[in-house]
């Protein structure tokens, strides 16, 4: 056995170095995967925060418009309202409380369900509840 070790000392050392290197690579890869997972989670949280802020700002704009008589949602005619069955992404995003995420969900919902049958059906879109609906109901049509 000693002869074998003596003759193959270089090969054995090389194999040990390869095993140590492989272990370091595996540990490094595992750490990077958990870091990426954390980054994705943080990005999703930031996206949710920005969407929430967008909703608040759009609601504030609507309130300011009402208070300064620039525009009143209750006085809009049907032709001035946004048709939620035909509006594109930017048209839906022009509504208060509707950002890119909700607009995309609305478009996906209407494509999957053959359009909205009534304006209150918009509440079936994920994330759009009574609060958002009450903000946009006077601004939309079908």
57-101 pLDDT, tens digit each: 888 887 777 666 444 444 444 558 999 999 999 999 999 999 999
Of all helices (H) and strands (E), which one includes residue 140? strand 140-141
- Check the CA dihedral 120-94-88-40 and report its sign: negative
The confidence score (pLDDT) of residue 98 equals 94
Average pLDDT over residues 42-64: 82
Domains delineated in the chain: 2-141 (1.10.150.320)
Q: Is the pLDDT of residue 126 over 60?
A: yes
In this prediction the pTM is 0.48
| Residue 71 DSSP symbol | -
Average pLDDT over residues 20-48: 77
How many of the other CB atoms lie within 10 Å of CB of 130? 10
The confidence score (pLDDT) of residue 31 equals 67
């Amino acid at each position: 056995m000693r002869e074998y070790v003596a003759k193959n000392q270089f090969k054995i050392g090389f194999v040990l170095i390869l095993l140590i290197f492989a272990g370091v690579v595996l540990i490094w890869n595992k750490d990077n995967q958990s870091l990426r997972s954390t980054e994705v989670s943080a990005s999703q949280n930031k996206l949710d925060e920005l969407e929430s802020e967008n909703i608040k700002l759009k609601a504030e704009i609507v309130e300011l418009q009402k208070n300064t008589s620039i525009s009143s949602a209750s006085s809009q005619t049907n032709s001035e309202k946004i048709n939620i069955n035909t509006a594109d992404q930017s048209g839906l995003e022009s509504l208060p409380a509707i950002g890119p995420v909700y607009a995309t969900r609305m478009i996906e919902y209407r494509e999957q369900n053959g359009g909205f049958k009534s304006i209150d059906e918009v509440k079936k879109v994920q994330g759009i509840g009574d609060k958002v609906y009450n903000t946009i109901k006077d601004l939309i049509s079908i």
